[in-house]
Amino acid sequence: MILSQIDFSADFGGRDAATAVLPHFKALKTACNGLRFQGFPFPKLAYILRVDGEVNQYGLSGVGYLDIDRKGEYLSLDIGIERDDRERIPHVICDGLLGSMEYLQAVNKKISKRIEFQPMQECLLELVGRYRRELSH
């Protein structure tokens, strides 16, 4: 039985984007530490924060762009943060995380049939709670 982990990476569209989102990225990295869940067909569920900035704009707000590693090591989903989202970054991130299950079901029926969503949901709810606590420190 695979115990899958959650991880985060970020693609900042400029210094302004990094300045705005870096504290959230660090809080997410801390919050996901040690979290594992079962019933997911990949060892890693990776979220990539795509943050619009002064240099690059990704044009995504919320969850989108599913990618599956050719080697089967991870499934990744983007969470887009546009410039207009900066006043509500925690909401965009939390909504993206919790909405990722619904997105998976809608976008890739073949993969979603292999996912046990209850353990994933429990893990994501724990992650959101930890993230919010990290932000309040």
* Domain count for the chain: 1
How far is 5 from 124, CA to CA, in rounded Å?
Answer: 11
Q: Which of 16, 21, 122, 11 is nearest to 67 (CA)?
A: 11
Length of the chain as a residue count: 137
| Model pLDDT, residue 137 | 83
pLDDT in tens, 10-60: 999 999 999 999 999 999 999 999 999 999 999 999 999 999 999 999 999
- Residue 1: its pLDDT value, please? 65
Each residue's pLDDT tens digit, 77-127: 999 999 999 999 999 999 999 999 999 988 878 887 889 999 999 999 999
Domain that holds residue 25: 3-135
DSSP state of 85: G
pLDDT digits (tens, 9 = 90+) for 55-76: 999 999 999 999 999 999 999 9
Nearest to 77 by CA among 2, 19, 1, 6: 6
The pTM is what?
A: 0.94
